[in-house]
Chain A
Amino acid sequence: MEHAEPGDTDWLVIPELGHFALILAAALAIAQSILPLIGAQRGDARLMGSAPPLALAGLIAVAVAFGALVWSYATNDTTVANVVANSHSAKPMIYKISGTWGNHEGSMVLWVLVLAICAAAVAGFGRDLPSALQARVIAVLGTISLGFLAFILFTSNPFERVWPPPPDGNGLNPLLQDLGLAVHPPLLYAGYVGFSVTFAFAVAALIEGRVDAAWGRWVRPWALGAWSFLTLGIAIGSWWAYYELGWGGYWFWDPVENASLLPWLAGTALLHSAIVVEKREALKIWTVLLALLAFALSLLGTFLVRSGILNSVHSFASDPSRGVFILVLLGIYIAGAFLLFAWRAPAMAPTGVFAPVSREGALVLNNLLLCSITAVVLVGTLYPLFLDLLTGQMISVGPPFFNTATAPLAVPMIAGMAIGPMMPWKRATLWPVLQRLWWAACLALAAFVLTLAFAGWHVLPAFGFACGFWLIGGAAADIADRAGLGRTRLANVLNRARNLPRSAWGAAVAHAGMGVTLLGVAGMGLATEHLASLRAGESTSYAGYEWRLDGVRDVTGPNFTARRATLTLLRDGHVAHVMEPSRRFFPQGRTTTTETSIRTNLVRDLYAVLGEEHEGLAVLRLHVNPLAPWIWLGSFIMALGGALSLSDRRVRVAAPAARRREAEARA
């Protein structure tokens, strides 16, 4: 028994300490959302100066609360109701700790923690920000933090006690007991919360009535960071679905998946339109709207997942009364921000003017297409709910709708992704750009033809390969062109390539990453599947291998029992692989999970799932998934591109410092 005996009371109060820290954080958040705002309105430097220390104090309070919760989980403190509901002493330590945020209450504390870290970062790294802007941003972040702290304290207190303590906890959703899923929520939250900072910048700009290049420069790194985290989070979620759900797919257009895709799409649009604000001082109102939208969609996703109004394969504890609270919060933040937007946006005068064919024009097209895709996904996700509400009719909008509705929008976007970055600002002509892309086009065409020639008549995957190579080729062409390949000596080219701004490299890498993901998606379009039911010793031949079932045996894990099959893959009589797919049974939750077995050589995955057993026959589902790992590899490359762009000198030092010098010179 790991819970404390009466007597050693020295750490028993830790949950109360955490609870108290949360209340303290809420009190600090009240101050943080009022004082700096008043200061900024009155121009009172002392009140504005209270923002950074308040943000820092808020972070400490929330960190203490989070630490207390992690402690309760790590020590399996069964006097805490949340631990009882979601943990078990037999769980490995890493899943005890990840269990802290694997449930509703804990994940909300994590959310607030990430938010507090962001606010402290704005306070710490934002010394070069105009102080009024910084004060307002921190105040808006304080308001958001306050809302979520109130939500936690009033509806989902993670520190509630039970007495007498039960002997042990009730385990965690076994599907969630997984490394991929342990890191998935923190990454997603880092993304969602990152958009709360761009939201705060947008609201601050609306209050101030001013958006300029400097604002764009400050918003972009936050949008980039949030976007990179969200990209990673979504990729890991999809990877988890691939190896854990055992259905052989990687993206199901499930509402919960869509909920994370929506802010990603809006965030991608924001990321690109912020460039236009920064470089050209155009698209200001639009960028502010996107910043509001990205956060609104993040909150909407949280609301949909937590309130239980969505029907999803991803089970999550839900509660309508919590839904009401989140909806009220959503109403206050989103309606408030949109009201402010309608009132103040006319004050923002645009300055940059540009021709339709130009870098700006390409970015506008990017925004239009991304927003259309966002709208399609949003409608597809919400339409069944609203139809059910209005007419009581149940319909299901599945992958066919999403695939057919997004593809015509995605194709011009992919085409433009290679062309846009090579266009000059203000005014451009299309032809010279296309000339510099001719070999990327040849590459794409070759990929299309070769796929049809070698993989048979699969037009869509072939087209996917063409798109992937077009993007990778386009990214390479962009870098080569900027480095002056063909116009100067090779040594010069390399030197120039090295000295290109990191943001140029970041864009190229991210676009190429998207290309790699597309190659993976196209490869999965060529996946095959084979269903066999075998007795021990029997074998089936599939995909050039002889798959022999050696046997199925019982295995015991720390908190589950499992049936594990041993499959030997023979090629020409030699053992090529041994695979051990299994099914786990968790007596605590009375649930079964499949553990797929995957052998990859990075070019294709061999994927085996153990199905039911019946009178000595074991059902095995075998897949060959070409290029499957590239889907996630490409996402990591995309996130890497984001990080590269984030490390640009301009973001790190030059801009704020130059701005400050300018301000000092003026003063």
Chain B
Amino acid sequence: MSGNADQDAARPARPSRRKLMLYAPLAVAGVGGLGFWAMLRGLGDGSFNPRGVPSALIGKTAPEFSLPGVEGLDLPPLSSPDLLTFDRPIVVNFWASWCVPCIVEHPQLMALHRQGVPVLGINYKDRAPDARNFLTRHGNPFTRLGADFPGRTAIDWGVYGVPESYVLDRRGVIRWRWAGPITPEVMSESIVPLIRSLGRA
């Protein structure tokens, strides 16, 4: 790039064009700076929030998908029409047996299950024996479980990584998203109140 630039200068090149090239870093920095400024404005008034991960899907119905079940488990598979069959708020949880935070959140999923909230699992890039093992050891909170071995469905949902959970209302509209393990705090401060209010609506 510049090797050429330096050599060009040795010859009588078109100087005006070369001079314009030298403004390129300034232009790039300027555009970047404006973007950052807009992001900071957005952070201030809440319209831009990379942390809270308000999915683009919030307020929309879940993307279409149809997943097979996990081999060797006596659980029905999961596809998008199933999300509408409950007539009550549901939790969709992406997890994997290789994910340690998933172990952390598992007791909370079990608690939801015991409270009668349908928890639908999507097993992400996992091996069936490992997934079976995991549920045998820690208990099964899932009403239905789909196996997303290639990870396509996770991409359609915009999943950051496992574990990640969504709350859908009875019409299958995504109302809430949480990237990371559901800790007892998240459970008591967000999920339970939300499900209660959605259940009344």
Which residues of chain A have a CB within 8 Å of any CB of chain B? 246-247, 282-286, 289, 292-293, 296, 303, 307-311, 320-321, 323-324, 327, 330-331, 334-335, 338-339, 341-342, 345-346, 349-350, 353-354, 360-361, 364, 367-368, 371, 382, 384-386, 388-389, 392-396, 398, 529, 531, 533, 609, 611-612, 614, 617, 619, 621
Per the bound structure, the CA–CA distance linking A324 and B36 in Å amounts to 9
**Contact pick for B158, options A293, A361, A371, A394, CB 8 Å:** A394
Contact B38 A396 (CB under 8 A): no
State the 6 A-B residue pairs at the shortest beta-carbon distance, nearest first: A286-B2, A338-B26, A350-B6, A320-B43, A364-B3, A311-B50
Contact A327 B40 (CB under 8 A): yes
Closest residue of chain A to B28 (Cβ to Cβ) is A338
The verdict on A335 contacting B97 (CB below 8 Å), with A309-B43, A385-B50 known, is no
CB-CB contacts of B182-193 with A at 8 A, as 1s and 0s? Answer: 000000000000
Contact B38 A342 (CB under 8 A): no
B133 to chain A, nearest CB (A): 8
How many chain B residues touch A (Cβ–Cβ < 8 Å)? 49
**Contact pick for B2, options A283, A353, A354, CB 8 Å:** A283
Contacting A at CB under 8 A, from B137-170, are 137-138, 158, 160-161
Contact A611 B40 (CB under 8 A): no
Per the bound structure, the CA–CA distance linking A331 and B36 in Å amounts to 11
The verdict on A309 contacting B97 (CB below 8 Å), with A341-B22, A349-B9, A364-B3 known, is no
**A286: B residues at CB distance < 8 A:** 1-3, 5-6
CB-CB contacts of B60-99 with A at 8 A, as 1s and 0s? Answer: 0000000000000000000000000000000000000110
**A384: B residues at CB distance < 8 A:** 50
Does B44 have its Cβ within 8 Å of any Cβ on chain A?
A: yes
B114 to chain A, nearest CB (A): 15
**A324: B residues at CB distance < 8 A:** 37, 40
Closest residue of chain A to B185 (Cβ to Cβ) is A590
**A382: B residues at CB distance < 8 A:** 32
Contact B30 A335 (CB under 8 A): yes
**B48: A residues at CB distance < 8 A:** 309, 388-389
Chain A CB within 10 A, most for which of B10, B38, B50, B98: B50
Closest residue of chain B to A308 (Cβ to Cβ) is B43
The verdict on A368 contacting B137 (CB below 8 Å), with A342-B19, A619-B103 known, is no
**B9: A residues at CB distance < 8 A:** 346, 349-350
**A621: B residues at CB distance < 8 A:** 100
Chain A CB within 10 A, most for which of B54, B56, B97: B56
Contacting A at CB under 8 A, from B33-49, are 33, 35-40, 42-44, 48
**B53: A residues at CB distance < 8 A:** 311, 394
Contact B55 A350 (CB under 8 A): no
Closest residue of chain B to A288 (Cβ to Cβ) is B2
Q: With contacts A341-B22, A396-B160 known, what are 6 further pairs, Cβ within 8 A?
A: A289-B25, A338-B25, A364-B3, A389-B35, A394-B56, A612-B104
**B5: A residues at CB distance < 8 A:** 285-286
Contact A360 B3 (CB under 8 A): yes
Contact A609 B100 (CB under 8 A): yes
Closest residue of chain B to A386 (Cβ to Cβ) is B35
**B98: A residues at CB distance < 8 A:** 529, 531
**A323: B residues at CB distance < 8 A:** 36, 40, 43
Which residues of chain B have a CB within 8 Å of any CB of chain A? 1-3, 5-7, 9-10, 15, 18-19, 22-23, 25-26, 29-30, 32-33, 35-40, 42-44, 48, 50-51, 53-56, 97-98, 100, 103-104, 106-107, 130, 133, 137-138, 158, 160-161
**B15: A residues at CB distance < 8 A:** 346
Contact B137 A311 (CB under 8 A): no
What are 20 pairs between A and B in contact, CB < 8 Å? A283-B6, A286-B6, A303-B36, A307-B43, A308-B43, A321-B44, A338-B25, A338-B26, A341-B26, A342-B23, A342-B26, A349-B9, A360-B3, A364-B1, A385-B39, A389-B39, A392-B56, A529-B98, A611-B103, A619-B137
The verdict on A611 contacting B100 (CB below 8 Å), with A286-B1, A353-B10 known, is yes
A378 to chain B, nearest CB (A): 9
Closest residue of chain B to A339 (Cβ to Cβ) is B26
Per the bound structure, the CA–CA distance linking A609 and B100 in Å amounts to 10
**Contact pick for A282, options B6, B18, B19, B33, CB 8 Å:** B6
Per the bound structure, the CA–CA distance linking A384 and B49 in Å amounts to 12
**Chain A facing B: main interface SS:** helix
Contact B56 A393 (CB under 8 A): yes
**B44: A residues at CB distance < 8 A:** 320-321
Contact A331 B130 (CB under 8 A): no
**Contact pick for A342, options B22, B37, B106, B160, CB 8 Å:** B22
Contact B33 A327 (CB under 8 A): yes
Per the bound structure, the CA–CA distance linking A531 and B103 in Å amounts to 12
The verdict on A346 contacting B19 (CB below 8 Å), with A310-B50, A388-B48 known, is yes
B1 to chain A, nearest CB (A): 6
**A360: B residues at CB distance < 8 A:** 3
**B30: A residues at CB distance < 8 A:** 335
Contact B1 A368 (CB under 8 A): yes
A471 to chain B, nearest CB (A): 24
A225 to chain B, nearest CB (A): 24
Chain A CB within 10 A, most for which of B2, B48, B55, B106: B2
B184 to chain A, nearest CB (A): 10
Contact A353 B7 (CB under 8 A): yes
B36 to chain A, nearest CB (A): 6
B62 to chain A, nearest CB (A): 15
The verdict on A395 contacting B158 (CB below 8 Å), with A308-B51, A309-B40, A309-B43 known, is yes
Closest residue of chain A to B33 (Cβ to Cβ) is A331
**Contact pick for B36, options A283, A321, A327, A371, CB 8 Å:** A327
The verdict on A311 contacting B55 (CB below 8 Å), with A284-B6, A339-B26, A533-B137 known, is no
**A609: B residues at CB distance < 8 A:** 100
Per the bound structure, the CA–CA distance linking A293 and B2 in Å amounts to 14
A297 to chain B, nearest CB (A): 11
Closest residue of chain B to A336 (Cβ to Cβ) is B26
**Contact pick for B29, options A296, A321, A353, A386, CB 8 Å:** A296
**B1: A residues at CB distance < 8 A:** 286, 364, 367-368, 371
Contact A309 B50 (CB under 8 A): yes
A276 to chain B, nearest CB (A): 9
**Contact pick for B40, options A292, A320, A367, CB 8 Å:** A320
Per the bound structure, the CA–CA distance linking A338 and B29 in Å amounts to 8
B190 to chain A, nearest CB (A): 17
Chain B CB within 10 A, most for which of A307, A529, A609: A307
A231 to chain B, nearest CB (A): 25
**B137: A residues at CB distance < 8 A:** 533, 614, 617, 619
The verdict on A396 contacting B161 (CB below 8 Å), with A360-B3, A364-B3 known, is yes
Per the bound structure, the CA–CA distance linking A331 and B35 in Å amounts to 12
B197 to chain A, nearest CB (A): 24
Chain A CB within 10 A, most for which of B37, B54, B100: B100
A69 to chain B, nearest CB (A): 28
Contact B51 A283 (CB under 8 A): no
The verdict on A309 contacting B36 (CB below 8 Å), with A353-B7, A611-B103, A621-B100 known, is yes
A622 to chain B, nearest CB (A): 12
**A327: B residues at CB distance < 8 A:** 33, 36-37, 40
